[in-house]
Structures are given as structure tokens and as C-alpha cells.
């Protein structure tokens, strides 16, 4: 790993030793591709489009930030930049879809979900248009840019929309699998991405089924059900608890939030002693709430939701925010241990 990438990992994911800088010298637009190893969005879509003329891509003045410029460079006649007009972009994509295209429209998750909620619901999901709205830079990953750019409500807002598939990409290979499966998936989709510095979970492109969770680790004492940016940290915690505490932890990547894999949750409730959900999202309405909707109909077992409290988070380096809300591996390990210590 280069020194530059090490510094970025420290600032944005808190994965290296040393003091975390309070300054981000790289703008969103200026970050090079090498600094965003998981952002293969434009590259993968460009490859898919070589054999599928239906695929078109649009963005809202963020081609460099979300790497859709990699698609533009290969297919300039199938790329559209709407400027700062997210609502118009989503509605136009629905129109394209009604003409037989499969549009992928990308902007920051905070803008896609909040500004575009009506268009996603009414123009895309209701008529079952195959529009793929891609929300990048989700959660607190835009830490320096403040609450206007944080996306901690998007899952809660969109998972309740009928006929809308909501899915979280975990890393680069997982995103490749999601994009490949999305091309012919019926109806509208919301695909949630991080900021592109996501640590590796899948060494190869997984055999993914939309709506079917992936069990990454077996365990009998505790099941951690997680998604997106928190999968790597959850796996690290499972290893630590096994080595230091002798605790057997199952880890489930619940990548699809809607439709939810109810069977995997039921299996966890029947086969392990407790369930912990972990998400980079407001505790209200997100993955934890979705899992609770299933567990309420089952025999009671210890259950804890962990995520961001129902508040606007501070402005600062993302790594510092993850540490403050115990969404890094050390903090999450403390949460899991405290939870298990209270189970009798």
C-alpha cells in the first residue's frame, strides 16, 4: 500500500496506526482513482455496456467524485450530466427506462435519497421502471462536509417504498456482483455505496443473489447482522472475540435491505444465542429496525441494534466519527462484549 493510500485509509477508515489528521487536503473532485480502490462503478458499467446497448449512465455534476467519468470515456454518447438537478435526473431516467433503456443515475446518497425521494417512489418504483439510483458517499463518509452531505437516513426512507429494491454494496468485488445482477433485475433499485475506500471483504466477485444474505462466518454464540461499510469491522470483531474470549460469532452480510432475507434472520434466532445488528445509519428505521420487524414475531432472544444515535453527527474526519460512535473495530468489539456480558 502506498504512503498516500495509507494516509487516506487512516483518515477515512481509521485502519492504520498513528494520529488521525483533522484536515483533508484532497477535495472530492481531486481524489485520484488510485485513492478510491473500491470505486469501480464507471469502469464496471462501461464493461457491461459493451454488450448491452440498453445501459445508459447519468450523474449530477459529480462524474469525477463517483467515477462515472470512466463510463463517459468509453461511451460518451450514452452518458448524461444533468448538473445540480438531481430530481430532474431521476425523472428523466424514468423516461429513458420507459423507452427500453436501463439507466444508472449516480449522485451523493444524501442527495439521491432526500432530494429524490418523491421521484424514486412515484416515477421509478410505482410504474416499476428499471432505474438504478446509485447513492454514493453514504453514511458519515463525507465527514468533513457536514450534515447536508451525510446520509444516515436513506435506508429508513427508501426501504418502505413498495416495489423498490434497496441494496448496499460491501466492497469493490461485491459492487461488481451487484451491478451485474442489477441489469435485468425487475423494477427500480437504490444501490448504496460508501466513499470508495472500502476495505476488502470479498477476494473475488461473489455469487450474489439479490434478496439473499451472505453468511460470511459461522458461529453459535452471537450473530452479527451487518451491511455495507460495517461488514469488514464485524468480521474483525468476530475474529477478536474468538481468539481472546472464546466466543463463536456468526457474521451475516445483509446486503439487501429490501426485500429482506427473513429466512437468514430466523435461522440466526434459532441457532445462536443473541443477535447484534451493526450499520452506518441512524438507529431509527434502518437495518436494525428491519431485523426487529422480523424478530417481533419470533420467540424472544437477546437483541441489540448498534448504529448512529438519532441525531445529526458532528463534522470531522470520518475515522474520528467512526471511533466516536463505536463503528470501528475496537469500538464495535466493546459493544459486543458489553452486550454479551449482560446475557444470562
pLDDT of residue 344: 62
Whether residue 229 sits in one domain with residue 188: no
pLDDT value of residue 100: 97
| Contact present, 128 and 187 (Cβ < 8 Å) | yes
**Statement to judge: residues 178 and 313 lie in one domain:** no
Residues in the chain with pLDDT < 50?
1-31, 35
Q: Are residues 285 and 172 in the same domain?
A: no
Output the pLDDT for position 30. Answer: 42
Question: Between vectors from CA 258 to CA 162 and to CA 56, what angle results, nearest 5°?
Answer: 80
Residue 131 Cα distances to 139, 185, 191, 292, 304, angstroms: 22, 10, 11, 29, 34
CB hemisphere CA count around 260 (13 angstroms)? 22
Residue 206 included in any domain: no
180: which 3 cell numbers?
A: 451485474
- The CATH number linked to 260 is 3.40.50.920
| Same domain as 281, residue 160 | no
Q: Are residues 171 and 228 in the same domain?
A: no
108 within 8 A of 61, measured Cβ to Cβ = no
Q: What is the DSSP string of 168-183?
A: E--SHHHHHHHHHHHT
Per DSSP, what are the bridge partners of residue 164? Answer: 188
Contact assessment for residue 213 and residue 261, using Cβ atoms and an 8 Å cutoff: yes
DSSP-derived 3-state class of residue 341: helix
pLDDT for the residue 7: 44
Q: How many residues are present in the chain?
A: 344
Q: Which of 331, 332, 283 is nearest to 307 (CA)?
A: 283
Q: How far apart are the two ends of the chain, measured CA to CA in Å?
A: 44
The number of domains in the chain is 2
| pLDDT tens per residue across span 195-233 | 877 889 999 999 999 999 999 999 999 999 999 999 999
Is 202 part of any domain? no
181 and 234 assigned to the same domain: no
Does 113 lie in the same domain as 39? yes
The reply to whether 199 falls in a domain is no
CA distance 51 to 75: 12
- Asked whether residue 200 is assigned to any structural domain, the reply reads no
Pairing of strands 222-226, 102-108: unpaired
Same domain? For 143 and 243 the reply is no
Domain limits for position 330:
214-341
Cis omega (within 30 of 0) for bond into 194: no
pLDDT for res 195:
82
CB 250 within 8 A of CB 223: yes
According to the model, what pLDDT value does residue 86 have? Answer: 96
- Give the pLDDT score at 13: 47
Cβ neighbours, 10 Å, residue 242: 15
Q: How far is CA 297 from the centre of its chain?
A: 27
pLDDT of residue 36: 55
Amino acid at each position: 500500500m502506498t504512503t498516500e493510500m495509507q494516509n487516506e485509509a487512516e483518515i477515512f477508515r481509521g485502519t492504520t496506526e498513528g494520529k488521525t489528521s483533522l484536515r483533508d487536503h484532497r477535495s472530492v473532485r481531486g481524489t485520484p482513482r488510485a485513492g478510491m480502490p473500491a470505486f469501480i462503478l464507471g469502469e464496471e458499467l462501461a464493461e457491461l455496456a459493451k454488450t448491452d446497448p440498453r445501459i445508459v449512465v447519468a450523474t449530477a455534476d459529480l462524474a469525477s467524485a463517483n467515477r462515472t467519468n470512466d463510463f463517459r470515456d468509453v461511451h460518451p454518447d450514452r452518458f448524461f450530466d444533468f448538473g445540480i438537478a438531481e430530481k430532474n435526473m431521476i425523472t428523466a431516467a424514468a423516461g429513458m427506462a420507459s423507452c427500453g433503456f436501463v439507466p444508472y443515475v449516480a449522485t451523493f446518497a444524501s442527495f439521491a435519497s432526500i432530494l429524490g425521494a418523491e421521484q424514486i417512489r412515484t416515477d421509478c418504483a410505482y410504474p416499476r421502471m428499471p432505474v438504478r439510483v446509485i447513492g454514493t458517499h453514504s453514511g458519515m463518509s463525507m465527514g468533513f462536509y457536514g450534515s447536508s452531505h451525510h446520509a444516515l437516513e436513506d435506508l429508513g426512507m427508501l426501504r418502505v417504498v413498495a416495489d423498490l429494491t434497496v441494496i448496499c454494496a460491501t466492497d469493490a468485488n461485491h459492487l461488481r456482483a451487484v451491478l451485474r445482477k442489477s441489469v435485468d433485475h425487475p423494477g427500480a433499485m437504490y444501490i448504496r455505496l460508501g466513499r470508495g475506500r472500502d476495505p476488502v471483504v470479498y477476494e473475488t466477485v461473489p455469487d450474489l443473489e439479490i434478496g439473499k444474505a451472505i453468511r460470511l462466518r459461522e458461529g453459535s454464540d452471537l450473530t452479527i447482522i451487518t451491511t455495507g461499510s460495517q461488514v469488514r469491522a464485524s468480521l474483525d470483531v468476530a475474529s477478536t472475540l474468538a481468539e481472546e474470549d472464546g466466543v463463536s460469532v456468526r457474521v451475516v452480510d445483509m446486503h439487501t435491505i429490501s426485500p429482506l432475507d427473513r429466512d437468514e434472520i430466523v435461522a440466526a434466532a434459532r441457532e445462536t444465542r443473541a443477535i447484534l445488528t451493526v450499520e452506518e445509519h441512524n438507529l431509527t428505521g434502518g437495518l436494525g429496525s428491519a431485523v426487529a420487524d422480523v424478530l417481533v414475531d419470533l420467540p424472544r432472544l437477546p437483541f441489540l441494534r448498534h448504529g448512529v444515535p438519532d441525531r445529526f453527527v458532528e463534522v470531522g474526519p470520518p475515522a474520528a466519527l467512526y471511533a466516536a460512535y463505536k463503528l470501528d473495530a475496537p469500538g464495535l468489539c466493546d459493544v459486543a462484549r458489553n452486550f454479551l456480558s449482560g446475557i444470562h
